[in-house]
Every structure is written in structure tokens, then in C-alpha cells.
Amino acid sequence: MEIHEALARSSMIRNVLPRHEQGGIFAADGYARASGRPGVCLTSSGPGAANIISGIADANFDSIPIVAITGQVPRGLMGTDAFQEVPLIDITRLITKSNYLVLDVEDIPRIVKEAFLLATSG
């Protein structure tokens, strides 16, 4: 994933690579609980995204600020039961404050800013 490679090169962001997605979401939760700052988890689409659902629910129920960023199949394959397609927004709608499906790269800065503001709003 290009975003992961860019984060790994960043000197401003500490990138921790877990062995499993569930470890990643619970590490983000632990970071947020210990630091008071938002925890972030990045996963691939499909099973990678599905593996963080319990951690998302746990953080939401405890009002822990988490921003989870997942991959998705290409736009033209959405809704076709493509390899590793999971309707994550539908699945997580009841356990998140908000969900975003980025369809235009120009929307990324606004959506990321909004996600962090929402995550830290209580």
C-alpha cells in the first residue's frame, strides 16, 4: 500500500507494524488510552479490514479516539463481490461515529482532518 510506504518514510509519524490487524487496532486503542491522543490503524481491504471490527467496537463503546483507515477494492469492482471486497461501512455503521468512502483523492485532506476532529470530540 502506497500510504503505508509513505508513512514509513515519515520522520513525523512513528510507524509500528503489527503482526496481525487485531494487534494493530488494539495497539492503537492502547496508545490512545495511554497518551490521550488519537490512535491510528491502517489495514488492507477485505479480511484485513474485517479483522479490526472488534477493536473499533471496543474503542467506540469506551469513547477512545481511534481513526481506522482501510483499503478497498477499485471503484469499478465495488458491489460486485470482488476478491477481498467487504462492505465495511455497512458493517461498522453502528459501532463508529462516522464512516467515509474516499472516491476522490482531492477529498483526502478534508476527510482525514474531519475524522481526527470527530475522533477527539468525546
CB 102, CB 111: distance < 8 Å: yes
CA angle, 92 then 96 then 99, to 5°: 75
Q: Could you state, in order of their start, the residue ranges of all structural domains in the chain?
A: 16-119
Q: Which amino acid is at 69?
A: I
CB 63, CB 122: distance < 8 Å: yes
For residue 39, what is its C-alpha cell? 490512535
What is the residue-level pLDDT of the chain in tens, covering all 122 positions? Answer: 677 788 888 888 888 888 999 999 999 999 999 999 999 999 988 889 999 999 999 999 999 999 999 878 677 777 777 777 788 888 999 999 999 989 898 999 999 999 999 999 97
**Per-residue model confidence (pLDDT) at position 117:** 96
Q: Which of 70, 103, 68 is nearest to 84 (CA)?
A: 70
Count how many residues are written for the chain: 122
Cα 31 to Cα 35, 36, 38, 62: the distances in Å are 6, 8, 8, 14
Q: What is the pLDDT of residues 20-41, one digit of tens each?
A: 999 999 999 999 999 999 999 9
CATH of domain 16-119: 3.40.50.970
